[in-house]
């Protein structure tokens, strides 16, 4: 039996749209085993009532890409998914499925896929790299790929940093959330984001939590998406007042993440309660970054 554990991820971190992502200590587990014939998919945990149990399943579709590439025929296949990452909430559930399927199928095929091959395959299925890269590499990953060769760098995160995720009880479709974005941004807004993304990476490397408030600001995606998240502005303000250092939409949302170096429980409670006051039922999860 092959067992792969893939972390949840939070992408963008405010200014780093499609290029910054962080892995979190919350995991989906993918298990592959051979059976005589056919495809059996068992799912427990998050999404067990919604995810397909046939060839449409994303883990299977990712695995099939690897089997096609390596020429390996698994014969019958049993896939067991034990999911802890909330589905469609901006915490990288689909990246975890793609990465889990690719790595498990690579191991089953006996193929030694390089990191570059795994990243390339996973990015081609996901369409953007900022969830799949940290899901594969762990930690905080900076990834460059637009119209050029891919490069990435993983940086160490400061001790004491935790991520409080306030997860609303409704999903946001990433494709639709991307359709809301402008195709052009002003030079001013581009400079705003570039400067903050650079500041964010440096602040995290140096452990300078005071800079995170400024560094996690964004002008190129959140202003266009926040309308999909009732109570967004109030939750951000409440988290900051409760002691969060920086606050952002996680990926395409609707989860809002707060980076904190203390007051974790208070921030979690305040974010959940502020969502509730805006008519949104949400749960809060306090997570360590995946190292
Ligand atoms: N960077 C992607 C986006 C992440 O914001 O659309 C999606 O999880």
Q: Is 96 in the pocket of ligand 1 (CB under 6 A)?
A: no
Alpha carbon of 45 to those of 30, 56, 112: distances in Å? 12, 19, 30
Q: Which atom of ligand 1 is nearest to the CA of 11?
A: 4
d(CA 64, ligand 1 centre) in Å: 24
ipTM of the complex: 0.98
Question: What is the spatial distance between Cα 142 and Cα 22, in angstroms, rounded to a whole number?
Answer: 9
185-206 pLDDT, tens digit each:
999 999 999 999 999 999 999 9
Residue numbering of the annotated binding site for ATP: 86-96
**Tokens 């964004």 — which residue?**
218
Which residues is 32 bridged to in the sheet? 2, 79
Question: What is the spatial distance between Cα 73 and Cα 71, in angstroms, rounded to a whole number?
Answer: 7
Question: What is the spatial distance between Cα 240 and Cα 257, in angstroms, rounded to a whole number?
Answer: 11
d(CA 1, ligand 1 centre) in Å: 33
**How many beta carbons lie within 10 A of that of residue 291, not counting itself?**
9
Alpha carbon of 68 to those of 47, 56, 122, 188: distances in Å? 27, 16, 15, 46
Q: How confident is the model at residue 214 (pLDDT cuts 50, 70, 90)?
A: very high
Question: What is the spatial distance between Cα 130 and Cα 124, in angstroms, rounded to a whole number?
Answer: 12
d(CA 251, ligand 1 centre) in Å: 4
Residue 59: pLDDT over 80:
yes
Q: How confident is the model at residue 4 (pLDDT cuts 50, 70, 90)?
A: very high
Q: Which atom of ligand 1 is nearest to the CA of 225?
A: 5
Show the 3-state SS of 218-248.
CCCCHHHHHHHCCCHHHHHHHHHHCCCCEEE
Residue 148: pLDDT over 80:
no
Question: What is the spatial distance between Cα 168 and Cα 35, in angstroms, rounded to a whole number?
Answer: 38
Look at residues 106, 137, 71, 68 and name the one whose alpha carbon lies nearest to residue 289.
Answer: 137
9-46 pLDDT, tens digit each:
999 999 999 999 999 999 999 999 999 999 999 999 99
Q: Is 11 in the pocket of ligand 1 (CB under 6 A)?
A: yes
Residue numbering of the annotated binding site: 86-96
DSSP label of 86? P
Tell the residue nearest (CA) to atom 6 of ligand 1: 252
Tell me what pLDDT residue 125 has. Answer: 94
d(CA 288, ligand 1 centre) in Å: 21
Look at residues 139, 168, 165 and name the one whose alpha carbon lies nearest to residue 152.
Answer: 139
Radius of gyration of the CA atoms of the chain, in A: 19
Helix axes 264-277, 232-241, angle to 10 degrees: 150
Q: Is 174 in the pocket of ligand 1 (CB under 6 A)?
A: yes
Q: Is 251 in the pocket of ligand 1 (CB under 6 A)?
A: yes
Length of the chain: 291
Phi, psi (5° rounding) for residue 154?
-100, 130
- pTM of this prediction? 0.95
Q: Is 217 in the pocket of ligand 1 (CB under 6 A)?
A: no
């Amino acid at each position: 039996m092959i067992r792969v554990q893939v972390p949840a991820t939070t992408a963008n971190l405010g200014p780093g749209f499609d290029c910054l992502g962080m892995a979190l200590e919350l995991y989906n587990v993918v298990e592959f085993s051979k059976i005589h014939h056919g495809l059996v998919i068992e799912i427990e945990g998050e999404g067990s009532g919604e995810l397909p149990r046939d060839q449409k399943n994303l883990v299977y579709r990712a695995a099939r890409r690897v089997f096609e590439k390596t020429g390996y025929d698994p014969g019958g296949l049993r896939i067991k998914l034990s999911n802890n990452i909330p589905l469609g909430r901006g915490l990288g559930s689909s990246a975890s499925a793609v990465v889990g399927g690719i790595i498990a199928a690579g191991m089953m095929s006996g193929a030694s896929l390089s990191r570059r091959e795994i990243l390339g395959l996973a990015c081609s299925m996901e369409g953007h790299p900022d969830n799949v890269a940290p899901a594969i590499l762990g930690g905080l990953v900076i990834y460059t790929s637009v119209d050029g060769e891919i490069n990435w760098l993983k940086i160490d995160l400061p001790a004491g940093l935790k991520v409080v995720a306030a997860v609303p009880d409704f999903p946001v479709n990433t494709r639709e959330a991307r359709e809301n974005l402008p195709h052009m941004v002003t030079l001013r807004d581009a400079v705003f984001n570039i400067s903050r993304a650079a500041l964010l990476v440096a602040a995290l490397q140096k452990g300078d939590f005071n800079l995170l408030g400024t560094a996690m600001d964004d002008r190129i995606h959140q202003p266009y998406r926040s309308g999909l998240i009732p109570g967004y502005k109030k939750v951000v303000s409440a988290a900051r007042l409760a002691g969060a250092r920086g606050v952002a939409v996680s990926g395409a949302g609707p989860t809002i993440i707060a980076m904190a170096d203390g007051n974790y429980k208070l921030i979690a409670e305040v974010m959940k309660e502020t969502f509730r006051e805006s008519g949104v039922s949400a749960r809060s999860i306090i997570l360590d970054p995946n190292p």
